[in-house]
Amino acid sequence: MTADLLAGLLPVREELAPGAVVLRGHALAAAPALLAAVAAVAAAAPFRRMVTPGGFAMSVAMTNCGTAGWVTDRRGYRYEAADPASGRPWPAMPAVFRELAGEAALAAGYPGFAPDACLVNRYEPGARLTPHQDRDERDLGHPIVSVSLGLPAIFQFGGPERRGRLRRIPLAHGDVVVWGGPSRLAFHGVLPLAADSHPATGTARINLTFRRAL
């Protein structure tokens, strides 16, 4: 195999902003194991459309695994040790999740990342995530690692101000976005998912968002 062909198969790093990168294809090799782990997590803690403090059901279906899980309801946004739907602890974070998150963070320049929370989002056609900041974590010194699986999506990434310009970044199956440091409180979101089908996930997109919450 020539060097050019080999280079075309290796993950590509794209700088988004200071402290923020896209690692193209970084999760491709692990994707089957990641999706199998998602199915196991969802069997123990099923996907559900949570309600925002304003009373609106989110278009994205969610579940969690790890020591803490991100939840939203009329009382606000927060992390909880137990699944409010069952009262049981969230499923343990699969080893393949922890390993992939740590490897991606290291590749992005954040060594030693050990997530204790993984928010698993399932997007169906039309689902979206409005621009927001991830700021419910106790220590904002840790990065965010976001893994895309299945259908492609348009990721929006901006700065620390809600009114700032949002870049549009196409994400494909296996792409990983990592942001921290000066970009840790960047506003980000996902545009409405276009209808399509993917051999790994059917008509859905799965997103894994790893955080150090506690």
Does residue 4 surpass a pLDDT of 80?
A: no
Domain ranges, ordered by start, for the chain: 3-211
Which fold does the domain 3-211 belong to in CATH?
Answer: Jelly Rolls (2.60.120)
Does residue 98 surpass a pLDDT of 80?
A: yes
Structure tokens at 183: 């970009």
Q: What's phi and psi for 101, nearest 5 deg?
A: -60, -45
What is the tens place of the pLDDT at every residue in 179-207? 999 999 999 999 999 999 999 999 999 99
Q: How far is CA 6 from the centre of its chain?
A: 28
The answer to whether the beta carbons of residues 64 and 125 sit under 8 Å apart is no
Strands 153-157 and 117-123, bridge-based pairing: unpaired
The answer to whether the beta carbons of residues 27 and 178 sit under 8 Å apart is no
Q: How far is CA 21 from the centre of its chain?
A: 14
Q: How confident is the model at residue 8 (pLDDT cuts 50, 70, 90)?
A: very low
**pLDDT score, position 7:** 40
**pLDDT score, position 11:** 61
Spatial separation of the C-alpha atoms in residues 26 and 108, rounded to whole Å: 11
Q: How far is CA 164 from the centre of its chain?
A: 22
**pLDDT score, position 135:** 95
Across the chain, what does the average pLDDT equal? 94
Cα distance from N-terminal residue to C-terminal residue, the chain:
46
Instruction: Count Cα neighbours of 60 within 13 Å in the Cβ-side half-sphere.
Output: 22
**pLDDT score, position 159:** 95
**pLDDT score, position 85:** 95
**CA-wise closest residue to 184 among 58, 63, 16:** 16
Spatial separation of the C-alpha atoms in residues 43 and 35, rounded to whole Å: 12
Phi-psi region of 201 (alpha: psi -120 to 50; beta: other; left: phi over 0): alpha
Number of Cβ atoms within 10 Å of the Cβ of 95: 10
What is the tens place of the pLDDT at every residue in 103-162? 999 999 999 999 999 999 999 999 999 999 999 999 999 999 999 999 999 999 999 998
What is the tens place of the pLDDT at every residue in 152-183? 999 999 999 988 899 999 999 999 999 999 99
Mean pLDDT score, 77-102:
98
